[in-house]
Chain A
Amino acid sequence: MTRPSWRHPAREALCRLIVLGLAAVLAALLALPLLSLLVRVPIATLLAEVGEPPVREALWLSLRTSLAATALAALLGLPMAHLLATRRFPGKAALEVLLDLPLVLPPTVAGFALLMAFGRAGLVGRALSVMGISLPFTTAGAVLAQLFMSVPLFIVAARAGLTAVSSRYLDAAATLRASRAYTFWRVRLPLALPNIVAGLGLCWARALGEFGATITFAGNLAGRTRTMPLAVYLELQQNLGAAATLSLLLVIMASVLLVAMRQAGLGLFAPLHAARRAD
């Protein structure tokens, strides 16, 4: 307000132009590769490849493993999210850092760390292998790699939802002498459900796209650990049609998920907005 020069019409127009221009550059940067994928794969190729064993196997394996990882994330992640949302305890900050770490860690590092822990010669893996349990090179190992990389997304969203439930409802439940468990299941959880569902969606998408930790920890074998991202990488070396088909399928699955979440009012950052709106 004290700088009239900034309010000069020509200057303002220029600023707007620059902002629009840069935004357009970014939009093009993101859209072009995805569109090219669509344009460069003839529909005939797509239809032919979808039925082929490499694509079918990878698709089926990816669906199974990513859904298993998401289910495990819900089972193990919900108590953690509840704890973080409702309690204060020593070491909470450290726990939060631990839970955020997989989001920023290179997946290959995660895979190597998983090997060091759960590999046959690993800290825990040694004991597991005595019990006849082996994770590397197994489908269970692929699920574990996906869980490791994707569960933080679920916890972030679920926790935000649980935190955002207004204390008025909880107090009301308490004055009606509802037990803690009853309050959780009948009040807090239903109110946080949209965020929890959004978290599961994000978690699933991340698990579906997991590559580095899987190939490092679980290996790469058709039907067992070769999920769609691994199959894309492999087919790039032998069959570009199959690679493109798998890529396109992954783009479609992710897009459908994001659009569906939006339609349900659960955009990618809905959990955070919801948390802010709540108070």
Chain B
Amino acid sequence: MRRSAPRGLLFPFVLLVAAAPLAGQQTLTVFAAASLTEAFSALGARFEAEHPGTAVRFNFAGSQILVTQIEQGARADVFASADQRWMRYAADRGLLVGGAAVFARNRLVVLIPRSNPGRVQRLQDLGRPGVKVVLAGRQVPAGGYSREALRRLGEAPGFPADFDVRVQANLVSEEENVRAVAAKVQLAEADAGIVYRTDVTRDVASGVLQLEIPDPYGPIAEYPVAAVVDGQVELARTFIDLVLSPSGQAVLAERGFMAAGGTTPR
């Protein structure tokens, strides 16, 4: 009321410069694995609806890149990794507050362009010379799981023992996150790539074929989440609570993720 005529002109500018403290606005920054893009965006929208005045900002990338960024001082409140390895790495360097909770699990599939230029009909074909295989890099969680799957398939009946070596010989590119693998298949540049089942979004599904990696050869990806040490820990915990809550779990299940301790939704 005291902020009348002359200052009124300035007000929008002040608001712009100092939006957060003035309006009681706060921003929650979530660093999340690339494969969580759609699911976490939906969770973010829900969180914003449940907490008026709070904006949720995401940084989606390969978990290995997110950890490096946090280690180098990037401001994050929540870190959600696609594997335990990078969560442990963060914990070992004192980047986290409290323990990490596993909130989802995931499965791998082999993705093939619908035009199937490499004539990949079954998993064994990945090892046939000349098939162009794209995987996530060794450091990327999906890349680690993919290589584990190839190793295990070498022990499966009907597969050569050196299956993983044969497939690695067909490798034409190592991508920095799992979504980049999906994109290379979508563009039909790769004959096959290994991604999470949840990466086959409706947008992707129309242009690709999928091969399941049968149990027990396909490793199950585990997604842990934790609060970051220099972040807004209370706010971070509120978000993590949402992720672990039944309604948060429902959002993840809708997009094909498996419950943390649960079974495969088929």
Q: Which residues of A does B touch, CB under 8 Å? A: 115, 119-121, 136-137, 215, 219-222, 224-225, 233-234, 236-238
Contact = CB atoms under 8 A, between A and B. Distances in A.
Contact of A136 (B62, B171, B189): B189
Interface of B: 62, 64-65, 68, 115, 117, 132, 134, 137-139, 171-176, 184, 187-190
A121 B137 contact: no
Contact of A221 (B68, B115, B139, B174): B174
A226 to B, nearest CB: 8
A237 B68 contact: yes
B65 A237 contact: yes
The 6 tightest CB contacts between A and B, nearest first, are: A219-B173, A137-B172, A121-B188, A237-B64, A237-B139, A136-B189
B189 A236 contact: no
Contacts of A222: 174
Nearest to A112: B187
A234 B65 CA distance: 9
Contacts of A119: 187-189
B175 A221 contact: no
SS of B interface (majority): loop
Contacts of B175: 219-220
A235 to B, nearest CB: 10
B172 A120 contact: no
A234 B172 contact: no
A221 B65 contact: no
15 contacts: A115-B187, A120-B188, A121-B188, A136-B172, A137-B189, A137-B190, A215-B176, A219-B134, A219-B172, A219-B175, A222-B174, A234-B139, A237-B65, A237-B139, A238-B64
B109 to A, nearest CB: 21
Given A137-B190, A237-B68, A237-B137, 8 more contacts: A119-B187, A119-B188, A136-B172, A137-B189, A219-B174, A219-B175, A236-B68, A238-B64
B173 A221 contact: yes
A220 B187 contact: no
B184 A219 contact: yes
A221 B171 contact: yes
Nearest to A217: B189
